[in-house]
Amino acid sequence: MTKAFKYLSYMLVGAAVATTAWSCSDEDYTMPQPNITPAELVEGVAFTVEHDAQNPNIIHLTSLMPQSYQVAWVTPQGRKTGATATLSIPFDGTYEVQMGVDTRGGYVWSEPYAFTIDEFCADFVDHYLWKRISGGVGQSKTWQLDLSVLLASETDENAIDKNTWVKCNVDETDYWVKTTKFNGPHWFFNSGYTWDHLHAANENETTYANFIDSDPWDKANAINTASVPETSAGANNADWYWAADYAGNAWMCTPRNYGYITFDLINGANVTVTDADGNVVGKGTYMLDTDDHTLTLSDVYPLETTDTRTHERFLKLLYLSDDAMQVMAPSEGVALNYVTKEYFENFTKPAPSVITLPDGWYDALASQLKFCSWTLDPDAPFDFYDLGGNAKNGYTQASDYNAEFPLVSNTIDEFMLNMCDPAVGQYTVTLPDADPLTGEVALNAAGTITFSNGLGDLPLGGTAVKLEGSTLNIISLEYAANGSVETLVIGTPQRDINGTVYEYIGYKLVADYGVEKVDKYLVNLAWANGAYEFDYGTTYVQGDGQYSVTVQTTDPALYLLYMDVEKILKKYPNAEVVINSVKKDGVATDITDDMVERTVGDSPDILRRYIVNPWNESTGATMTGKLTGASSVTIDFTVRMDSGTPWVQ
């Protein structure tokens, strides 16, 4: 849900940028006139189209314009840029090309120039990507979007394979939904992504080395290891993509069956689109560029999830295997996820993974429960885990948790679990603002711990995540250097509408032997743009002293900037934080302590200094002007745990 908002905010910001860029009054601005006309862009004068001397199916396009002109081409293999371009066209037929010249008034295009290919060149369709998309010369493959739905009210639930089909509710109607390799018909990308950002150079017909088949995928192995260019939708989105699942994000399209698209190599490269009932709704041809990894359609549009065409006929190829394909229009950030009809119809989800604990875990833990208590990890008290016990988010610090799961400090600070109190087989939970909870506890060699009266149903991550459950799975444990169990993750199973466990919420417990702890408080320096996309800088404070914290950002559009000292006011209500300096890109500004707002954060135990508060009309605009455009902001500050005066007056 958060990622969906992030993607949609990019589109909205991009629209705003586009509107700003092209809004002007007629009296103030006029578009400059081109200094080139289409009549001047004639083949043989402005450009040449020539067959290769060795292979007439290779076409060379060459600009004859001065080098100062930027040139582009519209070709049967999509748009290309540069003074020269080369086409490799396997099939005989008549084709057209246009040359465009970038002038003061924009691109000026020639009239279409027609040329003829006389013979079929089998060498050009012998590449493994042609075989993957069509099956090879004389063959065909039928593809569909990775989605199929059944109306629940018209389906016999007992006949449904609930491991493969998932029930979801869309607009108060229940559907059975099946997806396969991609878990849905769309993934969302920075539109700058290409094949070269997602594949390694050693991928070939028999070796897969890419972002889907490599586990894990290492971006450093990509053909193009550079970050994906940022788009006009805003910064902070380079290298961003979201592998969205349909069952959890059914807003992405109407739940229905969208039909099929067939690619063949039978007397040419032909493409046919049919509806879900098999009625032909479009026919055309296609061209696959195996060097630039593009797919170009003629006379037909790609199969997609809307009747309003949002994709182009020229598509970037992001992924292609024998049974799965991902394409995306250059101007879009929405990929179309296809799988072959045969793969989809024969797909059965593999059996769920199981958690594997290390040898000897039971004896080690059973012994240790007798002489230690357990507290919640203050930096990363919970995460979401897959059925194999792998953390899905990898939270390591408080700033990793987004606004959907704000940490509840009372629970984290005051929770303590003793699994041998007041006697063996009994447990006691220390709760915030309540009497201790007691009951019977049982450690099972199968990998579960049962608490007869639960753990208190305590809020842990806002209202969305609770510390709850009676029988919890042991997800993982880590040993200290002396062989004792240092951390223990126990998890509550999460079930879908069918009652099937699909993940765990795991609570990370830390062994506590009663040693006095040093007070340590997290400091968050938060920078946000107008779409509430945050960058954070963090440090810790321990006692009185001088400290510094820096936030780095790639988004100069500052809207909100504040510094929080987490939880400090709970134990030290008289704490004081004085701003010594505010630096923009390492250079001190004239912002002083008395200019910075003093308040509390999202909970009353958080001490907050608002450097830029957009809701404070008296200071918001002034402070924004002093820091907008920064790539980093550093706050130097002094902490006193007891100033003698309450922070909140």
Over residues 537-566, the pLDDT tens digits come to: 989 898 899 999 999 998 888 899 999 998
Dump strand ranges (E) for 153-193. 165-170, 173-178, 186-189
Q: Kindly state the tokens that stand for 424.
A: 């063996």
> For residue 450, what pLDDT is reported?
95
Class of domain 41-120: mainly beta
Pairing of strands 373-376, 501-512: antiparallel
pLDDT digits (tens, 9 = 90+) for 130-160: 999 999 989 999 999 999 999 999 988 888 8
| pLDDT bucket at 310, cuts 50 / 70 / 90 | low
> For residue 139, what pLDDT is reported?
93
Q: Which residue has the tokens 């061209």?
A: 287
Pairing of strands 165-170, 270-274: unpaired
Q: Would you say residue 235 has pLDDT above 90?
A: no
Average pLDDT over residues 81-109: 91
pLDDT digits (tens, 9 = 90+) for 441-479: 999 999 999 999 999 888 998 888 989 999 999 999 988
Higher pLDDT, 105 or 444: 444
pLDDT digits (tens, 9 = 90+) for 364-396: 899 888 888 999 998 899 999 988 898 888 888
- Minimum mean pLDDT range among 9-18, 196-205, 256-265, 634-643: 9-18
| pLDDT bucket at 307, cuts 50 / 70 / 90 | low
Q: Would you say residue 18 has pLDDT above 60?
A: no
In DSSP terms, 588 is beta-bridged to 583
Q: Would you say residue 399 has pLDDT above 90?
A: no
Average pLDDT over residues 419-438: 89
Q: Would you say residue 277 has pLDDT above 90?
A: yes
Q: Would you say residue 419 has pLDDT above 90?
A: yes
CA distances from 562 to 402, 477, 534 (A): 16, 36, 11
Q: How far apart are CA 212 and CA 357, in angstroms?
A: 27
Q: Would you say residue 264 has pLDDT above 50?
A: yes
Start-end of H helices in 337-383: 341-345, 361-368
Average pLDDT over residues 41-66: 94
Q: How far apart are CA 238 and CA 553, in angstroms?
A: 13
Q: Would you say residue 482 has pLDDT above 80?
A: no
- Looking at the chain, the whole-number percentage of residues with pLDDT higher than 90 is 52
pLDDT digits (tens, 9 = 90+) for 176-206: 999 999 999 999 998 889 999 999 999 999 8
Per-domain residue ranges of the chain = 41-120, 129-345, 361-512, 521-640
**Terminal alpha carbon distance of the chain:** 38
Q: Would you say residue 517 has pLDDT above 60?
A: no
To the nearest whole number, what is the mean pLDDT of the chain?
86
> For residue 351, what pLDDT is reported?
64
Three-state secondary-structure class, residue 157: helix
Q: Which residue has the tokens 């909970």?
A: 603
> For residue 360, what pLDDT is reported?
87
> For residue 36, what pLDDT is reported?
86
> For residue 10, what pLDDT is reported?
30
> For residue 309, what pLDDT is reported?
62
- Minimum mean pLDDT range among 75-79, 580-584, 634-638: 75-79
Q: Would you say residue 333 has pLDDT above 60?
A: yes
Q: Would you say residue 9 has pLDDT above 80?
A: no
Higher pLDDT, 100 or 500: 100
> For residue 27, what pLDDT is reported?
41
